[in-house]
Amino acid sequence: MQPKWQVYKFGGSSLGTSGRLPRVLELIAAAPRPLAVVVSALGDTTDWLLLAARSAAEGEIAQARAELARVRELALGRARPVLTTHGLRAFRTDLDAVLLPVERVLSGIELTRECSPRSLDAILHAGERISVALVSRALRERDVPGLAVDARDFVVTDDNFGSAAVEPALTAAKFAVAAKDWTGTVPIVTGFIARTRDGHTTTLGRNGSDYTATFLASLLRAEAVTVWTDVLGVMTADPNLVREASPVDRLSYDEALELAYFGTRMFHSRTIIPPAGLRRRAGHPQHHAAAGTRHAH
């Protein structure tokens, strides 16, 4: 029997904090295969893109460009320690391919002084594409067959820009085609982003990469999703607010759904739905699910 897929997800702080990316690359290289990896934007990239959009809408195009420059500098700063000179040159080309169209959207917003939800998604989606370009290049330089995958090529959503809902049947059909190229590779997949049926870029809502990871796991019938993060697990309270907060050993899907529903930042509100479905299909009891996050650093 073929071994089952694993899905790893790395968030902004694992990828964007100085010094952590090499550890992420080691974790991926050493992971069981087949493995698919979902990444979100580096550090505060998404917030900076949001600021760029707001500045452009207020007519502050110089400020908007400055935010975009921050995005580029952070990406280059994280890339320099992990890429060769040749790889870095290629990565600069990747950055241009992602950011030049964003600059054009910002100029349009400045002209009209209006940023529609659709334009905003055309800006916000850039961060995840940058992460995918960086991580897949760095892996290939380490002889790990990282394959850059733009989730927009298979994740189809409605046109509720900014918080789009996945269309499961259309997504599954496109996924079956896209995943044919994945054999023998480690696909590195953009979290958070998708496309409408007629091709407009959408986003799944803030922290949406967790949701991308869980529904990708469901499409792959994966054995597990591991959300690598910088805390020890799902905590009894926010450790920044409550000193005695400690990680919980286990959390049922129902409890996790509840946490997501009540808006803990831990989970995007839809994250827990796909694995709960997988679990039910596999006939497992509801109440013995691992908490599902691991400490990366």
Interacting residue ranges for ligand ASP, rule: CB under 6 A: 11-12, 40-41, 46, 127, 191-192, 206-209
Instruction: Please work out the total of residues on this chain that contact Mg ion, with binding judged by CB under 5 A.
Output: 3
Question: For Mg ion, which residue of 5, 7, 10, 11 counts as binding (CB under 5 A)?
Answer: 11
Number of other residues whose CB lies within 10 A of the CB of residue 242:
11
- Among the listed ranges 7-15, 53-61, 100-108, 132-140, the one in contact with Mg ion (CB under 5 A) is 7-15
What is the phi-psi region of residue 36: left when phi exceeds 0, alpha when psi lies from -120 to 50, beta otherwise? beta
Q: Which does 274 bind (CB under 5 to 8 A by kind): ligand ASP, Mg ion, none?
A: none
Kindly state the smallest distance separating residue 12's Cβ from Mg ion, in Å: 5
Report helix, strand or coil for 231. coil
Nearer to ligand ASP, 10 or 91 (CB): 10
Q: How far apart are CB 16 and Mg ion at their closest, in Å?
A: 10
How far, in Å, are 20, 118, 120, 156, 252 from residue 202 at the CA level? 29, 7, 9, 9, 31
DSSP-derived 3-state class of residue 282:
coil
Which 91-130 residues touch Mg ion, going by CB under 5 A?
A: none
CB of 44 to ligand ASP, least distance (A): 8
Closest residue to ligand ASP, based on beta-carbon distance: 209
- Site residues (CB under 5 A) for Mg ion, limited to 200-259: 207
DSSP 2: P
Closest CA to 106 of 168, 141, 150, 59: 59
Closer to ligand ASP by CB, 42 or 147: give it: 42
Instruction: For the CB of residue 279, give the shortest distance to Mg ion in the complex, in Å.
Output: 24
- Taking CB within 5 to 8 Å according to partner kind, which of ligand ASP, Mg ion, none is near residue 14? none
Calpha distance 91→276 (Å, rounded): 38
Asked if 163 contacts 204 with a C-beta cutoff of 8 angstroms, the reply is yes
How many helices (H) and strands (E) the chain has is answered by 11, 9
* Interacting residues with Mg ion (CB under 5 A): 11-12, 207
